[in-house]
Amino acid sequence: METRSWAALAALLGLTVRWAVSLNPYSGAGKPPMFGDYEAQRHWQEITFHLPVEQWYSNSSDNNLLYWGLDYPPLTAYHSLLCAHIAHLLNPDWVALNTSRGYESPQHKLFMRSTVLVADLVVYIPAVILYCFCLGEISSQKKMSSLLCTLLYPGLILIDYGHFQYNSVSLGLTVWGVIALSFGWDLLGSMAFCFALNYKQMELYHSLPFFCYLLGKCFKKGIQGKGLVLLLKIGVTVIASFALCWIPFLTEVEQISQVFWRLFPVGRGLFEDKVANVWCSFSTLFKIKDVLSPDNQLKLSFLCTVLSVIPACVKLTMHPSLKGFKFALVNCALSFFLYSFQVHEKSILLVSLPVCLVFTDVPLMSTWFLIVSTFSMLPLLLKDGLLMAYIVTTLAFLLMSWTSMSIYEKTSEESLQLKPFCVFIRRYLSWFRLPENVIRISFLASLAVMTVLTFISVVLAPPTRLPDLFPVLISSVSCIHFLMFLLYFNIVHLWDGVNERIRKKIS
């Protein structure tokens, strides 16, 4: 009973912080003609409520795709339709066709913020609570600390409740998928992830680990026996889940192709805004867009992404384990963010979720990554007027992690999950030792750099010749961090269990 009470208090604290952030401005507030993501979500409610399904993704006089055309999968559209019905009951002006563009009022803001909160209460928060309390044999105190830190992660709160989106729905469905696989409910896990993918196509960042983990389980069971049966069941489940989501769009091939064209707009280029991935950061030194054609840019990003995810995918397929699955989610999502085509700054949330899932395994590195991920979105947050919310939520998260998880003390080889790697290195370099003080100093130096960049971005005006200087510095510094994290999380995953298998072979 005491555990349930603490979980309820943690959820209440998370909800309080979320609602406090929701009192701040949102994306595009009072900024015509396009406004921002808030208007995009409202506009999708307008379109789905008034137009037939076959016109949701098509250009027409009532649906100008250049004005926030729907570009998320069907489940997002259905969610918009549900919200639209409620909005129409409360005030038809909120979703009036063509005349409601840019609609803003305190009452409408309250309604829109409430829809995000309800989505969190229904999908994301219950999944996080269940996941944290279903963790392995660790103390209740660590479970509570993991729950609090996950619920207080500032990046997701600032984007969903400040900027305005519904990321918690797709991320929550992914957590439900992870929970189901943890209990051995492979079909339910596959279904939950299919729904996540049909809510936001960016969930493709997580698709390879789900596929490789389940395929690895099938191989272990024997691909000609029980493994084949399981593989067939999973295949049927995936097809049925997609069919259920896509039924209204399966009437014509042209309609299906139109939806896919909206979901994957490859014509938009390698990158747009200042995002903390390799292509945007590298372009400050070498203008990739000026040298390579769009087709070659697409091929290059595809090749680099594939090469980056191969080690984690091969390891997970050959040795499927729940721990390896979660670290593969981190590595694959981070690889997609760093190297794939047309990445948005908010896509870092797809990496942050699995990092939250390994919080108890590597508390220091998880905290460090989650702070950097929030910092990487600073230019967007400043544009939305969320500076104070960013500072307060980030400090609160850091304080919670520092005190409840004692992260500054978790710098040993065991705490960083690097002992198997270090043992392997010492087989060839007997003098090698992990310098704990260097880890601590690097962490503090990183916090200092982010603090300074935040300060100068707010206080100083950029040079006239370099108006994007501060966003570029933020994205570049964040990208360097992310490359370091990619190396670290890959080492943890690839060397997990290596020494044990070597010892078994020798014995």
Which of 259-263, 270-274, 340-344, 420-424 shows the lowest per-residue confidence on average (mean pLDDT)? Answer: 270-274
What are phi and psi for residue 98, nearest 5 degrees?
A: 70, -30
Residue 444 Cα distances to 194, 338, 387, 398, 481, angstroms: 40, 24, 22, 12, 13
Burial (0-12, 13-18, 19+ Cβ within 10 Å), 212: buried
Burial (0-12, 13-18, 19+ Cβ within 10 Å), 150: buried
Q: How confident is the model at residue 500 (pLDDT cuts 50, 70, 90)?
A: low
Q: What is the predicted pLDDT for the residue at 430?
A: 86
Mean pLDDT within 53-76: 91
pLDDT surpasses 90 at 4: no
User: What does pLDDT average to over the chain?
Assistant: 91
pTM: 0.94
CA dist 119 and 98 (Å) reads 27
pLDDT in tens, 255-272: 888 888 888 876 666 777
What are the residue ranges of helices labelled H in 340-435? 349-357, 363-375, 378-383, 387-404, 419-426
CA dist 135 and 123 (Å) reads 19
CA dist 87 and 81 (Å) reads 10
Tokens found for residue 273: 């805004």
Tokens found for residue 280: 């945007």
Contact 36, 29 (CB under 8 A): yes
Q: Report domain extents, the chain.
A: 2-29+104-506
Mean pLDDT within 215-220: 93
CA dist 129 and 138 (Å) reads 15
pLDDT surpasses 90 at 243: yes
Instruction: Pick 114 or 466 by higher pLDDT.
Output: 114
Q: What is the predicted pLDDT for the residue at 68?
A: 92
Helix (H, G, I), strand (E, B) or coil at 427: coil
Q: What is the predicted pLDDT for the residue at 440?
A: 93
Cross-strand partners of 60: 63
pLDDT surpasses 60 at 69: yes
Q: How confident is the model at residue 495 (pLDDT cuts 50, 70, 90)?
A: very high
pLDDT in tens, 271-322: 777 788 998 888 887 788 778 888 888 889 999 999 999 999 999 999 999 9
Instruction: Pick 138 or 355 by higher pLDDT.
Output: 355
Cross-strand partners of 63: 60
pLDDT in tens, 450-465: 999 999 999 999 998 9
Cis amide bond preceding 32, omega within 30:
no
Q: How confident is the model at residue 506 (pLDDT cuts 50, 70, 90)?
A: very low
pLDDT surpasses 50 at 442: yes
CA dist 59 and 51 (Å) reads 12
Contact 209, 316 (CB under 8 A): yes
